[in-house]
Amino acid sequence: MASYTGPTLALTSRPAPALYTYKPLPAQHCWRCKQSKVVFSISPRKARPSATKKPSAYWGGRLPKRLDAPTQLFRTKAGFLSPVACLPRSTDGNFQTGSVMKPLDNVFHELHKNGLLILANVSDAGGARVVESLGATAIATSSAGMAWAHGYADGNQLPLTRLAASVESMTRILHVPLTVDIEAGYSDDLQHVVRVVEAVVTSGAVGINIEDGTAPPEVLVRKIEVAREVANKHGVNLFINARSDVYLKSLVPASQRLDEIIRRAALYAQAGANGLFAAGMVTPAEISTLCNASTLPVNLLARDGLSAPEELQRLGVRRLSAGSSIAEFLYGAMEGLARSFIERGQLDTQALTGFTYGKLNGLMGERG
């Protein structure tokens, strides 16, 4: 196939510097700007000395020092998009180059295949960046934490506009997959659930949690089906984690809970779910039985009485979530610090360790 050597880049009408050759590839989904695009393989080639001095404005404001291997450039209706906007980055902030850019949705699916994925749920973009900086391979939101951060109570109260803005603020700064807890879809109206999933997916998330609560399981089945339809429409291999509250909310008598959650797991899997969140389950024997009976990777909620992560992995658990616990502690710490300052004009930090302003500001500024 002939090489394409003269694209017009987005943000400028001037021709691109002749530093690379471009070969069309099949369309893929860009996880930086959330659109499906024609992809071009970019291969470095020796350029004239004057070409190497072209300003970075050609590339949308910033250019990696050198692409050492073939990588990809996305084409939009407006032209060619800056590789700075589209190239995935490693957790140290450096651009990743290579012949294949693995979409984050596929990465997130793979994280559930082996080992135990531990998710320290976050409430906002700042918290997401902090958790990512610790080496987290994926980020999950806490629906309660997100609601509280906006001044709303947990329980399907957060407005869709606030949810979408929060998700986009996280995907803007993150380099790893993001999964978003959308409670029960914020409604039993399927059209509203469609709007919620569409907002989350187009904002860059690659996974969702969606729960049954006290409603009949058939309600969640339909929500999973429409969520899958929305994701497919946008070309996203969305990881749908179906949360069942059989244990957490004692929906049936204790003697029936295991059979009921196994039944629901089968229903949700058939509807298109990719994981089962058995929130509230703590007994090792029941956990093992569920993991063996369900085709879905099992997710548990960290709580008192739950076995250590090593034991959970041995039992077959594939995902462990903190839920709202971290947000609860953070608000408690803020209350204690604020009280000491209001009452004595001093910050009592004896039992607390925290980030310095400089470190936090540095983390947020790395997105550039």
pLDDT of residue 357: 66
307 alpha carbon, distance to own chain's centre: 26
pLDDT of residue 190: 98
| Average pLDDT of span 157-170 | 96
| Average pLDDT of span 188-215 | 97
| Residues contacting residue 241 through CB under 8 Å, at least 6 positions apart | 179, 207, 208, 209, 210, 273, 274, 275, 276, 277, 299, 319
Residue 22 has pLDDT above 60, yes or no: no
Q: Is 191 helix (H, G, I), strand (E, B) or coil?
A: helix
- When mean pLDDT is compared across 62-76, 149-163, 255-269, the lowest value belongs to 62-76
CA distance 268 to 257: 16
- Amino acid 286 reads E
Closest CA to 205 of 177, 247, 163, 240: 177
pLDDT of residue 125: 97
Strand pairing report for 298-301 and 35-44: unpaired
More confidently predicted of 142 and 35: 142
Residue 81 has pLDDT above 60, yes or no: no
| Average pLDDT of span 77-83 | 36
pLDDT of residue 283: 98
| Residues contacting residue 236 through CB under 8 Å, at least 6 positions apart | 29, 105, 201, 206
Residue 307 has pLDDT above 70, yes or no: yes
Could you tell me the pLDDT band of residue 347, with boundaries at 50, 70 and 90?
A: confident
pLDDT of residue 358: 76
Q: Any bridge partners for residue 95, and if so which? A: 89
In sequence order, what E strands does the chain have? 20-30, 35-44, 71-76, 79-80, 117-119, 139-140, 178-181, 207-211, 239-243, 275-277, 298-301, 319-321
pLDDT of residue 242: 99
The token pair that represents 220 in the structure block: 């969640």
Closest CA to 349 of 364, 336, 366, 368: 336
Question: Which CATH number is associated with domain 104-329?
Answer: 3.20.20.60
Residue whose entry in the numeric block shows the structure tokens 């291969």: 43
Cβ–Cβ under 8 Å, residues 293 and 262? yes
Q: Any bridge partners for residue 122, and if so which? A: 141
Could you tell me the pLDDT band of residue 362, with boundaries at 50, 70 and 90?
A: confident
Backbone angles phi, psi at 162, to 5 degrees: -70, -40
Q: Mean pLDDT across the chain, nearest whole number?
A: 79
More confidently predicted of 41 and 345: 345
- Amino acid 59 reads W
CA distance 210 to 99: 35
Give this prediction's pTM. Answer: 0.73
Residue 6 has pLDDT above 80, yes or no: no
Could you tell me the pLDDT band of residue 66, with boundaries at 50, 70 and 90?
A: very low
Domain boundaries, the chain: 1-99, 104-329
- How buried is 351 (Cβ within 10 angstroms: 0-12 exposed, 13-18 middle, 19+ buried)? exposed
Ramachandran category for residue 135: left, alpha or beta (phi over 0 → left; psi -120 to 50 → alpha)? left
- How buried is 27 (Cβ within 10 angstroms: 0-12 exposed, 13-18 middle, 19+ buried)? middle
pLDDT of residue 361: 64
